[in-house]
Amino acid sequence: MKFGNFLFPQSNGPLDDYRAVTEALHESILSEELGYDEIWIGEHHLDGACAYVDPIAFAGTVIGSTSRIRIGFSAIQMALHHPTRLAEQISLLDNLSRGRVTVGIGRGTAFNFYEYRAYGVPFSEAQDRLVESEKILTSSWTTKSFFKHKGKHFDLEMPPIRPAVYTTPHPPLIRALATEETLTLMAKEGRPFMMVVQSDEETIRLFHKYKECMRNTGYEEDLIKKNLSQTRVWRNIVVAKTDEEAAKRALPAFDDYTQHIKKTREVLNTTEELASVKKNLQNPRFSSRHNIIYGSPATVSKRIMQLRDAGIGGLILHFRVGTLSKEHNEESLTLFSSEVIPEVRQYP
């Protein structure tokens, strides 16, 4: 199982932006020093939920500040990017990192309509733009001659992308998903995936569903095993020396994190937009019972072993939750790397 630190720093206002962004960069360097396998970089706009906002620019800085750790996107909101521009940017990052980049992409947020309005992209087009852009990305990285594409949203023609990608045939491309429908589609297409936060029980059920669907589609066990090793699941997490101390730190920080997101959505979305997703926002998976792992190293290890045993290839772990202090966050990162990772990897 691989372990990655998801850098998703919250900023509660413009005066807090510099601190949040620079501390996130420091955290990427610390993660490499502590032996984490991956850094994951997200994307959200206008609300302070992800202070650095631009995943491509921030990834370039992380790449320049590290030398070994892999850098993944979890996930680029594809509807807000032009595929040709993104193909060039990823090619450059792939070269600068010497092949350390994993390209996670998704449709984009299902709840923050203000992000689409700010970019002038209708929410209704987001899924189609994602599917069409995936094809353009892979073709632009692998086509050795003049490339043409005519689709619903893009009408393109270009020579091969420069710089050429460092990784052959191209950097790993993985779809972020939140629904069983998309998971089934990825299984039928023989592709790995990244999964948003779900309850442990639902996550395990969906992984069994994915394996079953791949087998029923006719894929060999070797490919199923390979795909599972490339899958990633997101969890929020706080580790402390005792369960009591972890709860004391994690629950207020998580409450602030969820309240920050809730308040910005109420302010920046229209009344009609909020009404359209009200039921989905009440999903139990957003509660602290399912959405955050917290406890002592022993407690956290037991919970993660359940996910490992389901075949999950790696975890995208958001350590700096809400208002958790820099000191407590670094203690959490250190305890996890020194006590949880060896424990999980020690026992098959």
**pLDDT tens-digit map of 77-132:** 999 999 999 999 999 999 999 999 999 999 999 999 999 999 999 999 999 999 99
Q: Reply yes or no on whether the pLDDT at 70 is more than 80.
A: yes
Angle between helices 200-217 and 221-230 (to 10 degrees): 150
- CA nearest neighbour of 253 among 157, 180, 326: 326
DSSP codes joined into one string, 57-74: HHHHHHHHH-SSSEEEES
Q: Reply yes or no on whether the pLDDT at 283 is more than 90.
A: no
Nearest-angstrom CA–CA distance, 294 and 292: 6
**pLDDT tens-digit map of 139-180:** 999 999 999 999 999 999 999 999 999 999 999 999 999 999
pLDDT of 146: 92
pLDDT of 177: 95
pLDDT of 341: 98
Instruction: Report CA torsion sign: 309, 313, 316, 317.
Output: positive
Q: Reply yes or no on whether the pLDDT at 37 is more than 90.
A: yes
DSSP codes joined into one string, 278-307: HHHHT-GGGSHHHHEEEE-HHHHHHHHHHH
pLDDT of 285: 72
User: If DSSP codes are grouped into helix, strand and coil, which group holds residue 313?
Assistant: coil
Mean pLDDT along residues 53-82: 98
Mean pLDDT along residues 172-194: 96
Q: What are phi and psi of 86, to 5 degrees?
A: -65, -40
Q: How many CB atoms lie within 10 A of CB 290?
A: 19
Nearest-angstrom CA–CA distance, 158 and 227: 32
Domain boundaries, the chain: 2-346
CATH of domain 2-346: 3.20.20.30
Q: What are phi and psi of 247, to 5 degrees?
A: -65, -40
- CA nearest neighbour of 193 among 201, 203, 202: 203
Nearest-angstrom CA–CA distance, 50 and 178: 19
Residue 76: pLDDT band (50, 70, 90) is very high
Nearest-angstrom CA–CA distance, 190 and 89: 26
List the beta strands (DSSP E) in the chain: 2-7, 38-41, 70-73, 76-77, 101-106, 147-150, 155-158, 173-177, 193-195, 232-239, 292-295, 314-318
